[in-house]
């Protein structure tokens, strides 16, 4: 019996070792490891129930001392959305995550907001949508669009996430970026 278990474990290790990373993961782990920023968004409305779940993922993010120092501005008005992301398509939704202060100084609150950003980004992909995080428009947003977007008083935008339909599968294959090697960015102190 012991030999059979050892053989089965060895066979599994050998099998998985020869697979691409994406084939080694399933469920939540696959999503966390194999996500990618969408390149080729499509037009098309996101059903309210899906959008609600995506927002809920942000609201449920962890935060230091559970202060939840964030606000989510969900932009479905395309005129406004295009002011932030010029090639935004009809149906794509822009979610602005903002936090107290200038969005640059309080690193713990920025980290909290960043976790909410990541949760929204991943939740959208879990539901089969494309998502992409943007920080390029943030300075301009904070300089001139806070009132227009009704950000809470004293808040500044930290990042935004674009969510939209994509052509399943094709986008992933054409778009996935490489990452640094594990051995180049990890130090073990044993
Ligand atoms: C904090 C942050 C800010 C980003 N800002 C932008 C941006 O302003 N514009 C953009 O096109 N992509 C932006 N991206 C997307 C990254 O370029 C993308 O996630 C990265 O290149 C990895 O590519 P991948 O999706 O192929 O894994 C941002 C991503 C992160 C995490």
97 and 136 assigned to the same domain: yes
User: Which of 55, 57, 83, 68 has the alpha carbon at shortest distance from 149?
Assistant: 83
Q: Is 122 left (phi over 0), alpha (psi -120 to 50) or beta?
A: alpha
Is the CB of 133 within 6 Å of ligand 1?
Answer: yes
Q: 169: burial class by Cβ within 10 Å (0-12, 13-18, 19+)?
A: exposed
Q: Closest ligand 1 atom to the C-alpha of 114?
A: 1
Sequence-separated (6 or more) residues with CB below 8 Å from residue 1: none
CB-based burial, 136-168: b 16+ in 10 Å, e otherwise: ebbeebbeebbeebebeeebbbbbbbbbbbbee
Is the CB of 115 within 6 Å of ligand 1?
Answer: no
pLDDT digits (tens, 9 = 90+) for 34-63: 889 999 999 999 999 999 999 999 999 999
Is the CB of 72 within 6 Å of ligand 1?
Answer: no
Lowest average pLDDT, out of 25-34, 40-49, 61-70, goes to: 25-34
For residue 94, the enclosing domain spans 36-174
pLDDT digits (tens, 9 = 90+) for 84-125: 999 999 999 999 999 999 999 999 999 999 999 999 999 999
131 and 168 assigned to the same domain: yes
Overall domain count for the chain: 2
21 and 115 assigned to the same domain: no
64 and 158 assigned to the same domain: yes
Q: How confident is the model at residue 5 (pLDDT cuts 50, 70, 90)?
A: very low
Mean pLDDT of the chain: 88
66 and 144 assigned to the same domain: yes
> Does residue 183 lie within any of the structural domains?
no
Between CA 66 and CA 117 the distance in angstroms is 16
26 and 40 assigned to the same domain: no
Q: What's the average model confidence in pLDDT over 140-166?
A: 98
15 and 106 assigned to the same domain: no
């Amino acid at each position: 019996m012991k030999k059979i278990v050892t053989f089965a474990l060895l066979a599994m290790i050998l099998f998985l070792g020869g697979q691409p990373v994406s084939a080694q993961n399933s469920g939540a782990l696959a999503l966390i490891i194999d996500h990618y920023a969408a390149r080729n968004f499509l037009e098309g409305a996101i059903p309210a129930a899906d959008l609600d779940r995506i927002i809920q993922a942000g609201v449920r993010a962890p935060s230091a001392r559970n202060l939840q120092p964030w606000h989510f501005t969900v932009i479905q008005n395309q005129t406004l959305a295009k002011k932030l992301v010029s090639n935004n398509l009809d149906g794509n939704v822009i979610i602005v995550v903002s936090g107290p202060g200038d969005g640059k100084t309080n690193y713990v609150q920025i980290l909290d907001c960043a976790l909410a950003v990541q949760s929204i980004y991943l939740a959208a992909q879990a539901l089969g949508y494309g998502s992409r995080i943007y920080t390029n428009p943030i300075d301009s947003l904070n300089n001139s669009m806070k009132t227009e977007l009704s950000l809470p008083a004293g808040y500044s935008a930290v990042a935004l996430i674009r969510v939209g339909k994509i052509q399943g599968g094709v986008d992933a294959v054409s778009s996935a970026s490489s990452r640094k090697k594990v051995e180049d960015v990890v130090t073990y102190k044993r």
